[in-house]
Amino acid sequence: MDVVAIGESMVALVNKPAGYIRHADGFKPFVAGAETNTLIGLSRLGHKTAWISALGKDELGEFILHKVRAEQVDTASVSTTGDRTGVFFKQISPDGSVDVTYYRENSAASRMTLDGIDMDKINGAKVLYITGITLSLSGQTKEMLFNVVKALNEDVKVVFDPNIRLKMWTEAEARKTILEFLPHVDYLIAGKQEVDILLGHQDFDAAMDKFKRFGCANIIIKLGREGALYDMEGVRGRVENPKQFEEIDPVGAGDAFAAGVVSGILEDREPEGMIRTACFLGGYITQFIGDYQGFPSRGTIEAMIDADEDEKV
Ligand code: KDG
């Protein structure tokens, strides 16, 4: 296995027509979950991926399993339990902003413990991909994730996106838990607002020094339309976005970016090329409704590169 991810996926209900939910005629269901978004992207790029999670023994859980399996992600270690599958409503407002309303409390995934986690599968992988969402689901999942990283073989690289969701916990809770988690992380991928929440400033050079002092060797800071900064393998640099895309649905951009980073780690790419591809993928996906639907296949990316040699994606 190349990559294993642990995390919750839910059914996202998106109103039709787009606009305020109060005027909806109907809702379209999508699979949504930061970790499955990244795994699906990696799978489309040709990597072997596996997902560890828990779903309700219900039709929503079946819906998620069918969609994730169809993307060639191994779901053999996803358990189904007597608790329910999480759901949320996603409204893309006329001004382009996205608002989510979660119904995920006490979901099957929020009750995951180390007992239900397939450590052999994780320890047989090259990368473990995890996000701060799992740290925020419940006390149980927080404890589970700390236990998982403590039981990890040294050669499994941990890639971590804080993915701070302020509807899940307060800034203070997120800061305390994530900073405590950082010594277990090999690659940190943080957004600029997350740097602010974690360290109280946006001086990115100082932030990278600080994160390294917390014990995390490789840092990537996403700057949105301005590209990204990195400090990897002791080399610090900045990458501009290779292309600007017209944004329709920004959700999933960070997960696509993470897929670019993990793919680069698996292929042993040099940092600059890896981050450039990650920036490209993060922008590209925002042209499509749905978290991962627009994620390109390897063939599509190569065709785009061939079509525009200068972009060096
Ligand atoms: O990154 C996209 C996720 O935010 C979305 O799919 C839902 O996983 C989700 C969450 O917990 O917010």
The ipTM is: 0.95
Q: Bridge partners of 43?
A: none
User: Is domain 3-8+33-84+105-304 classified as CATH 3.40.1190.20?
Assistant: yes
Pairing of strands 98-103, 87-92: antiparallel
Model pLDDT for residues 114-135, shown as the tens digit of each residue: 999 999 999 999 999 999 999 9
State the sign of the Cα–Cα–Cα–Cα dihedral 214, 275, 235, 129. positive
* CA of residue 141 to ligand 1 center, whole Å: 16
57-81: average pLDDT: 97
Bigger pLDDT: 302 vs 168: 168
Q: Position of tokens 């944004």? A: 247
6-21: average pLDDT: 94
Domain boundaries, the chain: 3-8+33-84+105-304
Model pLDDT for residues 86-102, shown as the tens digit of each residue: 999 999 887 878 899 99
Q: What is the mean pLDDT of the chain?
A: 94
**Cβ(190)–Cβ(157) under 8 Å?**
no
* CA of residue 19 to ligand 1 center, whole Å: 20
pLDDT of residue 306: 65
pLDDT of residue 294: 93
Pairing of strands 10-16, 87-92: parallel
Q: Which residues line ligand 1 at a C-beta cut-off of 6 Å?
A: 32-34, 37, 133, 165, 251-252, 254-255, 291
Q: For residue 167, give the ligand 1 atom closest to its CA.
A: 12
* Atom 7 in ligand 1: residue holding the nearest Cα: 33
Burial 238-260 (b: 16+ CB within 10 A, else e): ebebbeebeeebbbbbbbbbbbb
* Atom 10 in ligand 1: residue holding the nearest Cα: 33
Q: For residue 7, give the ligand 1 atom closest to its CA.
A: 8
* Atom 4 in ligand 1: residue holding the nearest Cα: 34
pLDDT of residue 304: 76
Structure confidence at residue 244 as a pLDDT band (50, 70, 90): confident
Burial bucket for residue 130 (CB in 10 Å: 0-12, 13-18, 19+):
buried
pLDDT of residue 93: 82
Residue 51 has pLDDT above 80, yes or no: yes
Model pLDDT for residues 181-222, shown as the tens digit of each residue: 999 999 999 999 999 999 999 999 999 999 999 999 999 999
* Atom 8 in ligand 1: residue holding the nearest Cα: 33
Q: Bridge partners of 15?
A: 27
* CA of residue 191 to ligand 1 center, whole Å: 15
Q: What percent of the chain has pLDDT over 90?
A: 86
pLDDT of residue 97: 84
Structure confidence at residue 308 as a pLDDT band (50, 70, 90): low
Burial 217-235 (b: 16+ CB within 10 A, else e): ebbbbbbbeebbbbbbeee
